[in-house]
Structure 1
């Protein structure tokens, strides 16, 4: 993912420094840029002309430390508030015989001008993370934050939303499902930072509004060749490699990266035996960047990724000899241009072309159905923005166009008619194509009024696929800094307009599917419209800890969900009348307490969904249920009331550290049409012992982890780190989802171990 461009990013700017001696002559010096609020701590060296340009700097307050032998250490603060570069000149003083420098982090522990709630994951936390199975490294990091949980196969669900997460990779939004079973992931080793929103969204974001995950990839500023090599392996025959090299010379930079992984636990198995679950993934990318002038920058990039995997079997499928294969191929090309019109104004142009294909193949022994699928799309994306600084205002406006040309092919042959209605056709062949056309425009303003900060914006969206609709979405976030308490109070309102997921939307809306049953009901899936509310505080505790507490409520009409086509695992979007989701979240970050660092995050969530159904395809008995259930409500499928995650690290000695943590969930609701005896015969006592049929809930999940890490070599230019991890050390059988025969159970990994070696230069 190192190929993705940077200049379209929403909340990232640039710092440009110049270092001189007392007479004004430029000098080469070491620079450290630190923001505790952003979990940002990086060291740089100015070039021969005494200048330094640091790109991809998240908005916030930073401490700048400049050191050079023979000179007094300089420590100052600066603020990054917009995409416009922040320029500063540091003039060093000649060192006296005795010099005392006191450096404090009080100014960067919290950001007093951050109006809303955001979660940050920095480079250090990424590099020292717990090892993940292939295809899940970024998802696991996001899932550690309050408000997020897995439902199965590493599909992220923010605050109860179904498939409404968008990943923004260096400013380019990817709004399709990015879980391992749908598409290649962004490798965490390629990331410099992650910023996460679940409320207080900038007006620049739209379409998928459950949660937004900004991924900021690595960039080097110093001249010369730089690189990174990561090798890891462990339980489930897992092996992973990642390599990246970048050459910076003059006004040019070239970056090349490649990665590959394999495992025998790619998806979450449906039975503890982990049948047929091998997977292989890989990617290659290259990027070229050139500063055409001091005010113009141009970036080209190309990236290709793929994944190949087996679909895990249930017991009856394994006995029948079923083999189902899935794969995904994706190629992305981007171009990005930035121009600085004046010290107060900046414009960007970004374009992307993306080809994505998902395939499913079944052998002749598959049961109860042999299914084949070939879905692919070509996406053309364009975005233009203009930023302006004026007094207390940071204006930004822009337009974007996203045109996706969908192609769906699906066919099946039933091998076990007893699992279907008598009138279900034995075979089906389906093919369709249609464009998904979406355009938007936005304007927003970040206003600073003393200790008040206001972010206000308005977004317009146009959606044209099966429906043709427009919507306006106002956004407002207000923050108030209380200096005497070292506290920020904030509140936000987000009007949201979410377009339906396009996965298999053509087949579920086609009249050709009417032949699958003599009872069918098809309703167009409307975009979701709703109101998100949040209030909370951010508190600095003794310059050692930061506490975030948020309370929220989400009211959504045409609440998005999904259903399965027959017994194939092919999902498609549906919608219910409304949902009400509310809860509270908290996170305590121990930034430093001598040698101890870490965090604890907690989420309490209640989610309910109301009948009737308002969109989607329903067949057989589901039709009568849909027509008769016109009132009442049921728990949201992500209604896990209590979620707790923690991880702490202790520095045993200068180069050796240990870490330990845990992940707890009170369990998701489930629906099962059979009885407990049927489930016991199919899945065995080990799985059924983790199910509470009386409450309709899965029993609590708990996984304890631990790590040992060591910096085995460190110099000014080279660093090598070794880490060994153990996960689910308590070896509990954690059932994530339970849906019954052919309905998508998901069981978490058993006790597992991994080792990882990371070398960078």
Structure 2
């Protein structure tokens, strides 16, 4: 199931005895700069392949009984497989030799900022509610923050996060209420980009989250079973099996979860909020020859959940439910033409369905939605190494066939304009056709590293547009300071979200109001700038600092259709987002490790509106408000996150952290008395109406973990988590009646038991 990532390579390692014969050995490969750590065993012939390694410098440690342990470094800087041989020497009789070395803290040849989350961080993560384990991990990184229901927003962007799963990009909304997730238990590592994007990436450019799924390398049967449960009647189970037999690898995973706190409730009482998820995947990989590899995978995911009620809806007896279903199949073929050139072909077919249903007591509107799409994706790339250059070129085609089916019936006319029709039925379908081509070069010139590329995109849905996007990143390594300076420029062409874009652009919606404004939503075009540094201190700590600015024309946002919760894309004239971020990572100080990150961001959006559907009073505002600006809904000025881990003894550790946010802006059409009557004093005490800001959020957490059993064949781990231990009522979003408030989870606890074999 492993498909090549943009900046990853493969290591083909062989361990031999002094005579050059293959030797079975235990291998540890690590890199502090990419947070990567993996332990594996070579075959009897001494060989092992390690795929999808992020570019960087790695420390290799090899051991075999009767031989002296050896530590070496290896650099991965190409999509082409790197071959490396470690020759072990026979250990002297009655002599003990111990070699101590440290994995590199920073990558001296990285031309832009990349945040890495390795297997250890994934394994030791704080427990998450179902459907958001990956989003919770991303949210720990500087520059990212949540709105309600785990919708990620990178550096002020709205719904512009791209998840790349084993090389396949998914550009639709992947939050729990819109799409099932591939859980963190499935992952080996994550790479997170908010600038310095390779030209290979396009279409959704707020931020890129690369997910590498796990793969065992040793022969035989391997697996894992994870059981967890905790507050809010939450329970989950995950299982994984993988069989490696010669040149063949077979694998399967399955998981399921349930909770009474699936989405973020809109009031503290947490009305109607149960949800369940399920997931199954299977994959097959075969090395056809030394130069040819075939990967195939299939995955099916589903989620079913209730939509949280506000007080008036609960009193009326409303019950709204949602569901998501997704089936995805992928295939990839890789061929090595020569030691310096590599070609890949990858394809994906995906079916996705999203549903909304309402009972007869729903208020102020009974809404139904049954949307689905089929996506066909194809990508071909060619990589070539020559001297100081790593060239890569490719073409990509992504065709999404959209089907929208929406209907409603109004039950409380007082919540709508007098001329709003009491019912509506809508159905339409249309293809979204997008193609692209790119060329890029990674150049290494002494202490300088340059990544330069050019991308072409074509977009055809409601509009037919294309654009060229140049990208360049430059890094300079200063060995005497153990510092890398870097700067990047990204030109972006960002296609609109296709969520409900057909209904929002249909003339049939004109009947909803005599006063309407409909404008086609243009793709966003913009310029991203970033400068920063990475520095290592005494082989113990590393510091990353970035400053950035984003200038975006036709800034993408979203709005809701009536009071249904059905959202669709809109856009404004422009946005300017700027800020600074810092992350201090403590790799190991005696038994202490951890990080502290801080983000400062200012995000403003300028009128007038340039795209989307507007009805009633919103039309007047859209037409008359042609100048001025307002804070973006993600304009949280200060964000702080920390987590530190202390290893008491080899089998017992403790971690604690906190998350702080200075609060998002909000717009509320009523007055404070109306809000108090609807939501009660507990919620209103967290709202500053004078400033138009939610009061600061603060949550502390703690984790206790232990290895119950550890041997060469099996590891059993236990973990206990406590979240929001300070017990503060944290209001994430505040938007008024029927418009998506979000209350963060209260004080909660979780237990987790995992068995690896």
TM-score range, shorter chain: over 0.9
Alignment partner of 1:24 is 2:14? no
User: Which residues of 2 match residues 400-411 of structure 1 at below 5 A?
Assistant: 400-411=396-407
Match of 2:373 in 1: 377
User: Which residues of 2 match residues 12-161 of structure 1 at below 5 A?
Assistant: 12-97=8-93, 98-105=95-102, 108-161=104-157
Match of 1:499 in 2: 495
Match of 2:282 in 1: 286
Shift of 1:99: 4.7
Shift of 1:13: 1.1
Shift of 1:8: 3.2
Match of 1:690 in 2: 686
- The separation in 1 between residues aligned to 2:563 and 2:423, in whole angstroms, is 14
Match of 2:604 in 1: 608
Contact 1:7–1:338, Cα closer than 8 Å, also in 2? no
- Deviation sequence 1:436-487 (CA, Å, 0-9, x none): 0000000000000000000000000000000000100000000000000000
Match of 1:743 in 2: 739
Unaligned runs of 5+ in 1: none
Match of 2:457 in 1: 461
Contact 1:8–1:349, Cα closer than 8 Å, also in 2? no
Q: State which of 503, 508, 511 in structure 2 corresponds to 1:512.
A: 508
Contact 2:28–2:39, Cα closer than 8 Å, also in 1? yes
- The separation in 2 between residues aligned to 1:27 and 1:138, in whole angstroms, is 38
Q: CA RMSD in A?
A: 0.8
Q: State which of 643, 646, 663 in structure 2 corresponds to 1:667.
A: 663
Alignment partner of 1:414 is 2:410? yes
Alignment partner of 1:316 is 2:315? no
SS at match of 1:293: coil
Contact 1:168–1:214, Cα closer than 8 Å, also in 2? yes
Q: State which of 356, 362, 373 in structure 1 corresponds to 2:358.
A: 362
Alignment partner of 1:335 is 2:325? no
Match of 2:229 in 1: 233
- The separation in 2 between residues aligned to 1:758 and 1:214, in whole angstroms, is 25
Q: State which of 219, 237, 240 in structure 2 corresponds to 1:223.
A: 219
Contact 1:348–1:385, Cα closer than 8 Å, also in 2? yes
- The separation in 1 between residues aligned to 2:583 and 2:64, in whole angstroms, is 38
User: Which residues of 2 match residues 253-264 of structure 1 at below 5 A?
Assistant: 253-264=249-260
Moved more, 293-302 or 6-15: 6-15
Contact 1:8–1:350, Cα closer than 8 Å, also in 2? no
- Deviation sequence 1:464-520 (CA, Å, 0-9, x none): 000000100000000000000000000000000100000000000000000000100
Shift of 1:25: 1.7
Q: State which of 347, 354, 358 in structure 2 corresponds to 1:351.
A: 347
- Deviation sequence 1:396-431 (CA, Å, 0-9, x none): 110000000000000000000000000000000000
Contact 1:35–1:61, Cα closer than 8 Å, also in 2? yes
Contact 1:7–1:348, Cα closer than 8 Å, also in 2? no
Contact 2:188–2:212, Cα closer than 8 Å, also in 1? yes
Shift of 1:69: 2.2
Moved more, 722-731 or 11-20: 11-20
TM-score normalised per structure 2? 0.99
Match of 1:639 in 2: 635
- The separation in 2 between residues aligned to 1:760 and 1:673, in whole angstroms, is 54
TM-score normalised per structure 1? 0.99
Shift of 1:71: 1.9
Contact 1:373–1:411, Cα closer than 8 Å, also in 2? yes
Unaligned runs of 5+ in 2: none
Match of 2:674 in 1: 678
Alignment partner of 1:168 is 2:167? no
Residue correspondences, number: 756
User: Which residues of 2 match residues 562-581 of structure 1 at below 5 A?
Assistant: 562-581=558-577
Alignment partner of 1:476 is 2:472? yes
Shift of 1:82: 1.4
